[in-house]
Amino acid sequence: MTAEPVLLTKGSTRPAPNQRHRARACPRVTGFDASCRPSQEDLEALIAHFQALDARKTRIVETPCSPPSPRLNASLSAHPEKEELILFGGEYFNGQKTFVYNELYVYNIRKDAWTKVEIPNPPPRRCAHQAVVVPQGGGQLWIFGGEFASPDGEHFYHYRDLWVLHLATRTWEQVRSPGGPSGRSGHRMVAWKRQLILFGGFHESTRDYIYYNDLYAFNLDAFTWSRLSPSGTGPTPRSGCQMTVTAQGSIVIYGGYSKQRVRKDVDRGTQHSDMFLLKAEEGREGRWAWTRVNPSGAKPTPRSGFSVAVAPNHQTLLFGGVCDDEEDESLEGHFLSDLHFYDPVRNRWFAGQLKGPKVEKRRRRRGRRGEPGDSSKQELKGTRAQEPLQVARELVAEDGTVATVQQGLAARGPAGQPESDDSDDGPSEAAVPAVEPSARSSAMLAVKHGRLYLYGGMFEAGDRQVTLSDLYCLDLHKMEEWTVLVEMDPESQEWLEETDSEEDSDEVKGAEGGGESEEDEDSGEEAREQRPSAAPGEPFADSLPRTEQ
């Protein structure tokens, strides 16, 4: 498990780097005067302006392109029939402006190639929405809700619209049906039989915020919404939780994040670690029941902003996130890169341990077999090898129990290198450092043909938010090693210091998601050249607070 610590402070001129991004669950803490906030009508007018720009597109345009720009809180979905991944929406913050997207990208797995697909009348720009793929009609991508952020990243419009992308014809359609959920972000949605089931989320108004634990079903045949009222005690209001369907047809809800006011101007966040099972009652159509379950095994530590997918064996896969130690005036986050699996049949968590790449051992030449002194050399090497180092960390769950997490670090040889099976092999078989995704939250996951694909996300370093655009792949059958498909150097990312005021034209351009001006790009290059680079072997996240002035 990898953790990147960062200390965030509240009440500063600029809020700590996007505290809101804790699973899109909590409003950002800010000293901004609420009376100066733009009205709901202002945001709606801005969204309408962008939709008018999109309406100028009258035909489908597919353009081969380089990998998408850095972003988080987008959706990544596997095509039900083709060897393709579909990326939609998301957001990016460069220190001054928030960019929100409604771009649609398709990644061809076999060709390792990206295509930008422009389709007339797309959904408005959004992030923190939910996307679900169903196979009918040649494949459909259903999208509900999410949010649009103003260019300053302080004001938000929450959608309650429902869209479907017909993958066979590449056409967008807005489905208008009354009785659906209210506008929200950070909710979760899954496909269950011929329905979409939606749970939770949150909404921020001008002066307050609210978390939900309501449950809705959308019928994919009748195109109608219905609100469900399960029996039993279900989860408390939350957003950013795990929601997956088991092979037996039950729905699992795990974890999530919520925030509540403990006193005036002071909010307290909760990283939930409880689990619930939602089952349809047999013989009673439309009737559901909640049951709380207590899984065993190597449970994930409490966290928010984790990413979820379903493995080929119907186990739920959980990756990364951020664990917050929150005080009244500070928020210390530890970003994670660990992998966990939940087996609903055994009701048990398992840590995702990689086996490492298989290295074909060279056969020793016949003349070296049984060479005198070989056994003594092996014994000597064994006595010099260090024992594995066990690192323990205690975390307090929401129910008050203390969980002790132990992480084993590989044994090192006398020179600080991992031990190899054959000390006589040449340099060509020297150990290669493992390739793995860096610690992050709000990444996008998708599984296709037994392979897990991970794209983007973010982590924080000092007062800087680093948004990622890398792409990794992991064979879930072999569980040997990650393969990097798209590399990214976080140090090359533009970061602009906040100014006291911005021009209106810049604000509109920022929210639209267009490119920066040449002057902005030049200033970004100059800033990168002036900042000292990280020391050899020093993690980038650790170098930023030291090197940035």
- Asked whether residue 335 is assigned to any structural domain, the reply reads yes
Q: How confident is the model at residue 185 (pLDDT cuts 50, 70, 90)?
A: very high
Q: How many domains does the chain have?
A: 3
Mean pLDDT for the chain overall: 78
Comparing 414 with 57, the larger pLDDT belongs to 57
Has residue 520 got a pLDDT over 80?
A: no
Comparing 508 with 280, the larger pLDDT belongs to 280
pLDDT attached to residue 517 = 38
Distance of alpha carbon 38 from alpha carbon 46, whole angstroms: 11
Given 448, 473, 494, the domain boundary residue is 494
Has residue 443 got a pLDDT over 50?
A: yes
Q: Are 305 and 299 in contact (CB under 8 A)?
A: no
pLDDT attached to residue 429 = 46
From the CB of residue 270, how many other CB atoms can be counted at a distance below 10 Å?
A: 20
pLDDT attached to residue 349 = 98
Averaged over 493-497, what is the pLDDT? 86
Q: Are residues 153 and 201 in the same domain?
A: no
In terms of Cα–Cα distance, which of 97, 157, 17 is closest to 501?
Answer: 97
Distance of alpha carbon 457 from alpha carbon 70, whole angstroms: 8
pLDDT attached to residue 120 = 96
pLDDT attached to residue 451 = 98
Distance of alpha carbon 433 from alpha carbon 83, whole angstroms: 30
The most confident of the ranges 144-148, 320-324, 523-527 is: 144-148
**188-192 and 195-204: which strand pairing?**
antiparallel
Q: Are 472 and 451 in contact (CB under 8 A)?
A: no
Which of 77-86, 113-122, 486-495 is predicted least confidently?
486-495
Q: How confident is the model at residue 268 (pLDDT cuts 50, 70, 90)?
A: confident
pLDDT attached to residue 474 = 97
Averaged over 33-51, what is the pLDDT? 71
In terms of Cα–Cα distance, which of 458, 472, 448, 504 is closest to 152?
Answer: 504
Which of 110-114, 166-170, 273-277, 503-507 is predicted least confidently?
503-507
**444-448 and 402-409: which strand pairing?**
unpaired
- Asked whether residue 152 is assigned to any structural domain, the reply reads yes
Distance of alpha carbon 485 from alpha carbon 479, whole angstroms: 17
Distance of alpha carbon 385 from alpha carbon 383, whole angstroms: 6
Q: Are 450 and 476 in contact (CB under 8 A)?
A: yes
Q: Are residues 462 and 341 in the same domain?
A: yes
Distance of alpha carbon 196 from alpha carbon 229, whole angstroms: 15
Which of 262-266, 268-272, 304-308, 337-341 is predicted least confidently?
262-266
- Asked whether residue 148 is assigned to any structural domain, the reply reads yes
Q: How confident is the model at residue 535 (pLDDT cuts 50, 70, 90)?
A: low
Tens digits of residue pLDDT in 323-376: 987 765 667 789 999 999 999 999 999 999 999 887 654 444 444 444 444 443
The residues, ordered by sequence, that sit 6+ positions from 299 with a Cβ below 8 Å of its Cβ are 273, 340, 349, 403
Given 476, 494, 512, the domain boundary residue is 494
Q: What percent of the chain has pLDDT over 90?
A: 57
Has residue 544 got a pLDDT over 70?
A: no
**140-144 and 296-297: which strand pairing?**
unpaired
Q: Are residues 231 and 327 in the same domain?
A: no
Has residue 10 got a pLDDT over 90?
A: no
Q: Are 116 and 65 in contact (CB under 8 A)?
A: yes
Has residue 412 got a pLDDT over 50?
A: no
Averaged over 93-105, what is the pLDDT? 95
Has residue 5 got a pLDDT over 80?
A: no
Comparing 211 with 393, the larger pLDDT belongs to 211
Q: Which domain holds residue 87?
A: 40-176
Distance of alpha carbon 93 from alpha carbon 91, whole angstroms: 7
pLDDT attached to residue 277 = 98
Q: What percent of the chain has pLDDT over 70?
A: 69
As to burial, measured by CB atoms within 10 angstroms (0-12 exposed, 13-18 middle, 19+ buried), residue 279 is middle
Q: Alpha carbon of 135 to those of 75, 79, 223, 359, 509: distances in Å?
A: 17, 9, 16, 40, 37
Comparing 408 with 259, the larger pLDDT belongs to 259
CATH number of the domain to which 84 belongs? 2.120.10.80
Q: Are residues 250 and 171 in the same domain?
A: no
Round the CA-based radius of gyration of the chain to a whole number and report it. Answer: 25
Q: How confident is the model at residue 377 (pLDDT cuts 50, 70, 90)?
A: very low
Has residue 404 got a pLDDT over 50?
A: no
Phi and psi at residue 417, to the nearest 5°: -110, 150
Has residue 140 got a pLDDT over 50?
A: yes
- Asked whether residue 1 is assigned to any structural domain, the reply reads no
Q: Are residues 44 and 151 in the same domain?
A: yes
pLDDT attached to residue 220 = 97
Q: Are 495 and 95 in contact (CB under 8 A)?
A: yes
Q: Are residues 243 and 348 in the same domain?
A: no
Distance of alpha carbon 521 from alpha carbon 435, whole angstroms: 31
Q: How confident is the model at residue 378 (pLDDT cuts 50, 70, 90)?
A: very low
Q: Are residues 325 and 248 in the same domain?
A: no
DSSP 8-state class, residue 458 = E
Averaged over 220-230, what is the pLDDT? 97
In terms of Cα–Cα distance, which of 71, 86, 83, 84 is closest to 21?
Answer: 71
Q: Are residues 160 and 220 in the same domain?
A: no
Q: Are residues 224 and 346 in the same domain?
A: no
Averaged over 291-299, what is the pLDDT? 97
What are the structure tokens assigned to 69, written together?
């720009």
Q: Are residues 219 and 93 in the same domain?
A: no
The most confident of the ranges 24-28, 306-310, 514-518 is: 306-310
Half-sphere exposure of 393 (CA within 13 A, CB side): 14
Q: Are residues 166 and 203 in the same domain?
A: no
- Asked whether residue 115 is assigned to any structural domain, the reply reads yes
- Asked whether residue 274 is assigned to any structural domain, the reply reads yes
DSSP letters for 201-252? EEEE-SS-EEEEEEEEEEETTTTEEEEE--BS--PPS-BS-EEEE-TTS-EE
Given 494, 511, 527, the domain boundary residue is 494
Has residue 7 got a pLDDT over 60?
A: no
Has residue 15 got a pLDDT over 90?
A: no
Helix (H, G, I), strand (E, B) or coil at 198: strand
- Asked whether residue 385 is assigned to any structural domain, the reply reads no
Averaged over 519-535, what is the pLDDT? 40
Has residue 399 got a pLDDT over 80?
A: no
Q: For the packed helices 504-512 and 40-54, what is the interaxial angle rounded to 10 degrees?
A: 60
Q: Are 108 and 70 in contact (CB under 8 A)?
A: no
pLDDT attached to residue 39 = 65
Q: Alpha carbon of 79 to those of 70, 134, 135, 449: distances in Å?
A: 22, 9, 9, 11
- Asked whether residue 53 is assigned to any structural domain, the reply reads yes
Q: Are residues 142 and 247 in the same domain?
A: no
Distance of alpha carbon 339 from alpha carbon 460, whole angstroms: 20
